[in-house]
Chain A
Amino acid sequence: MSFQYIIQQILNALAWGSMLGLMAVGYTLLYGVLGLVNFAQGEVFMVGAFAAYFVIALAKGPFWLAVLAAVGGAVVAGVLLERVAFRPVRKAGGITLFITSLAVSIAIKNIYIMGLTNKIRPFNSPAFLRTVHHWKGLLIYNSTLAILAVTVAVTIALLLFVNRTKTGIAMRAVAYDRETAELMGVNTNRIIVVAFVIASSLAALAGVAWGVRFGSVQPTMGFTPVVSAFIAAVLGGIGNILGAVVGGFIIGVGEILFVGFLPPELIGLRPVFVWAVLFVLLLFKPSGLFPANVKPS
Chain B
Amino acid sequence: MSDNMAIRLQDVHAGYGKMEVLFGITLHVASGEIVALVGPNGTGKTTTLRTIVGQVRARSGSLEYMGEDVSHKPPYVLTRRGIATSPEGRAILGNLTVLENLRLGAYTIRDPAQFRRGLERVYALFPRLQEREHQSGGSLSGGEQQMLAVGRALMSRPKLLLLDEPSLGIAPNLARTIFATFEEIRREGSSILIVEQNVYLSLRASDRSYVMERGKIVLEGESRGLLQNPHVKAAYLGVA
Binding site for B on A (CB under 8 A): 166, 169-170, 172-173, 175-177, 179-188, 293-296
> What 1/0 flags go to B76-106 for Cβ under 8 Å of A?
1001100001010001011110001001110
Residues of chain A within 8 A of B79, CB atoms compared: 182-185
Nearest Cβ in chain A — how far from B75, in angstroms? 5
Binding site for A on B (CB under 8 A): 53, 55, 74-76, 79-80, 85, 87, 91, 93-96, 100, 103-105, 107-108, 152, 156
Residues of chain A within 8 A of B108, CB atoms compared: 185
Residues of chain B within 8 A of A294, CB atoms compared: 95
Nearest Cβ in chain B — how far from A172, in angstroms? 6
Residue in contact with B104 in the complex, picked from A169, A179, A293, A295, CB distance below 8 Å: A169
Bound Cα distance from A170 to B85, whole angstroms: 17
Given contacts A177-B91, A182-B76, 7 further A-B contacts (CB under 8 A): A172-B100, A176-B96, A177-B93, A179-B91, A183-B91, A184-B104, A294-B95
Given A166-B103, A169-B100, A173-B104, A185 and B76 contact (CB-CB distance below 8 Å): yes
Residues of chain B within 8 A of A181, CB atoms compared: 93, 104
Bound Cα distance from A205 to B94, whole angstroms: 32
Residues of chain B within 8 A of A175, CB atoms compared: 95
Residue in contact with B95 in the complex, picked from A166, A170, A176, A183, CB distance below 8 Å: A176
Residue of A nearest to B90 (CB): A180
Bound Cα distance from A188 to B79, whole angstroms: 13
Bound Cα distance from A294 to B94, whole angstroms: 9
Nearest Cβ in chain B — how far from A226, in angstroms? 27
Residues of chain A within 8 A of B156, CB atoms compared: 184-185
15 pairs, CB–CB < 8 Å, chain A vs chain B:
A166-B107, A170-B104, A170-B107, A172-B93, A172-B95, A176-B95, A179-B55, A180-B91, A182-B75, A182-B76, A183-B53, A183-B75, A184-B107, A186-B104, A294-B95
Residue of B nearest to A292 (CB): B95
Is the pair A185, B80 in contact by a Cβ cutoff of 8 Å? yes
Residues of chain A within 8 A of B103, CB atoms compared: 166, 169
Residues of chain A within 8 A of B76, CB atoms compared: 182-188
5 smallest beta-carbon distances between A and B, as pairs: A185-B79, A180-B91, A185-B108, A185-B107, A182-B75
Residues of chain B within 8 A of A183, CB atoms compared: 53, 55, 75-76, 79, 85, 87, 91
Residues of chain B within 8 A of A180, CB atoms compared: 87, 91, 93
Most chain B beta-carbon neighbours within 10 Å: one of A181, A184, A188: A184
Residues of chain B within 8 A of A169, CB atoms compared: 96, 100, 103-104
Residue of B nearest to A175 (CB): B95
Residues of chain B within 8 A of A170, CB atoms compared: 104, 107
Is the pair B107, A186 in contact by a Cβ cutoff of 8 Å? yes
Residues of chain A within 8 A of B55, CB atoms compared: 179, 183
Bound Cα distance from A178 to B100, whole angstroms: 16
Given A169-B100, A179-B55, A184 and B94 contact (CB-CB distance below 8 Å): no
Residues of chain B within 8 A of A295, CB atoms compared: 94-95
Bound Cα distance from A184 to B95, whole angstroms: 16
Residue of A nearest to B149 (CB): A180
Is the pair B105, A184 in contact by a Cβ cutoff of 8 Å? yes
Residue of A nearest to B155 (CB): A184
Residues of chain A within 8 A of B105, CB atoms compared: 184
Nearest Cβ in chain A — how far from B111, in angstroms? 12
Residues of chain A within 8 A of B152, CB atoms compared: 184
Residue of B nearest to A180 (CB): B91
Nearest Cβ in chain B — how far from A58, in angstroms? 44
Given A183-B75, A185-B76, A176 and B94 contact (CB-CB distance below 8 Å): yes
Is the pair B107, A176 in contact by a Cβ cutoff of 8 Å? no
Is the pair A293, B95 in contact by a Cβ cutoff of 8 Å? yes
Residue of A nearest to B80 (CB): A185
Bound Cα distance from A294 to B87, whole angstroms: 20
Given A184-B105, A185-B156, A173 and B93 contact (CB-CB distance below 8 Å): yes
Nearest Cβ in chain B — how far from A236, in angstroms? 15
Nearest Cβ in chain B — how far from A167, in angstroms? 9
Nearest Cβ in chain B — how far from A162, in angstroms? 11
Most chain A beta-carbon neighbours within 10 Å: one of B55, B80, B93, B108: B93
Bound Cα distance from A182 to B79, whole angstroms: 8
Residues of chain A within 8 A of B94, CB atoms compared: 176, 295-296
Residues of chain A within 8 A of B75, CB atoms compared: 179, 182-183
Bound Cα distance from A185 to B85, whole angstroms: 10
Residues of chain B within 8 A of A296, CB atoms compared: 94
Bound Cα distance from A166 to B53, whole angstroms: 22
Bound Cα distance from A183 to B155, whole angstroms: 13
Bound Cα distance from A187 to B80, whole angstroms: 10
